[in-house]
Amino acid sequence: MYSYYFRIADLLIYIHTPIVFNKFYELDHYRIKHINGRKADIEYKVCFFNEEWKVHGRKVQEVRRTCVYETEDSFLKYYFWSVHTNEKFVILEQKKGEYHQFKLYIPYKDIDSLLREFHISAFLSMERALLKYSAFQLHASVISWNGKGILFSAPSGTGKSTQAEMWKKYESAAVVNGDRAIIRKQGNKFRAYGSPYAGTSGVYTNISVPVGAIVILEQGKENHIKRLGGIEAFKKIYSESTICTWDQMFIEKYMDLLGELIRDVSVYYLSCRPEKRAVELLKEWLLSESGI
């Protein structure tokens, strides 16, 4: 058996596997060799399953080629990768009530093609584990500016990375993450962490910044900004979060955490064009309203 350790969002993640992984791709940037006796916060055990394993349980979620099935004591997340059938899959087993130990089942007969076509990080589905430690994933680009993190959140293709790069160009901001950041509450403060999930931006770091503001982006014909109230902010952030809608305990804890975030952090709506004036307008509001 082989052991690999990673540090993401200041959490120690342990992967125990019967096969050697020569490369973890984006996860390689978060890999650590020395843990100094620290116990892992999140554990994954990789196992082989036999050819007779069939999809079973009650389907509770289906998103593209991913389905979650519920059994008496577990949630089984199936990742299908065959084009026209559901014959090839990887399974992530998540015990009910358990939020830090998981089993990842992979097919022995398909291991070569699996490792050739996919990165192991795609199967970890960290959202349940993160929530145990008051953290969640948000579809957002993150910059560090004036010592604070500004998060640009919106659906894919709306301009999150564009805004981040403009702040880098015009305000010398540092880009922390390009697509899917981790927000974690530590003590009484929220921090934004870079994660290995960077989408097409290719920008990911292993650093964190205190959350200064969250900006909900929308493409517009002119630049316009307003502050969002509690319910509006809640809906916008909820829609761009990675959520286990099939797990009632997850939903309850996530909603409490999101409520705390909205009470502590300013949330803005910015309709804008990809131009310098959009940066200037947001900067004016951040300095006058949020004191960043």
DSSP string of 232-286, one letter each residue: HHHHHHHHTB---TT-HHHHHHHHHHHHHHHHHSEEEEEEE-SSHHHHHHHHHHI
Per-residue pLDDT of the chain (292 residues; tens, 9 = 90+): 899 999 999 999 999 999 888 788 888 999 998 888 889 999 999 999 887 888 889 999 998 889 999 999 999 999 998 766 677 899 999 999 899 999 999 988 888 888 777 788 889 999 999 999 999 999 999 999 999 999 999 988 888 999 999 999 999 999 999 889 999 999 999 999 999 987 777 888 999 999 999 999 999 999 999 999 899 999 999 999 999 999 999 999 999 999 999 999 999 999 999 999 999 999 999 998 766 7
Residue 234 contacts residue 258 (beta carbons within 8 Å)? yes
- In angstroms, the first-to-last Cα distance of the chain is 49
CA 267, CA 257: separation in Å to the nearest integer?
A: 15
Element (H, E) at 116: helix 111-117
SS3 83: coil
CA 125, CA 68: separation in Å to the nearest integer?
A: 12
Compute the half-sphere exposure of residue 240: CA atoms within 13 Å on the CB side of its CA.
26
Residue 161 contacts residue 179 (beta carbons within 8 Å)? yes
Residue 142 contacts residue 181 (beta carbons within 8 Å)? yes
CA 130, CA 133: separation in Å to the nearest integer?
A: 5
Report strand pairing: 42-49 vs 11-17: parallel
Element (H, E) at 112: helix 111-117
What residues have CB less than 8 Å from 245, skipping those under 6 apart? Answer: 61, 251
SS3 2: strand
Residue 126 contacts residue 99 (beta carbons within 8 Å)? no
Angle between helices 160-171 and 276-285 (to 10 degrees): 80
Sign, CA torsion 57/119/36/41: negative
CA 187, CA 113: separation in Å to the nearest integer?
A: 44
Give residue 125's pLDDT: 92
Sequence letter at residue 35: I
CA 292, CA 288: separation in Å to the nearest integer?
A: 8
Sequence letter at residue 94: Q
Sequence letter at residue 280: E
Give residue 10's pLDDT: 95
What residues have CB less than 8 Å from 93, skipping those under 6 apart? Answer: 74, 75, 76, 77, 102, 103, 104, 105
Residue 84 contacts residue 118 (beta carbons within 8 Å)? no
With a threshold of 0.85, does the pTM exceed it?
yes
Show the tokens assigned to 45. Answer: 């055990």
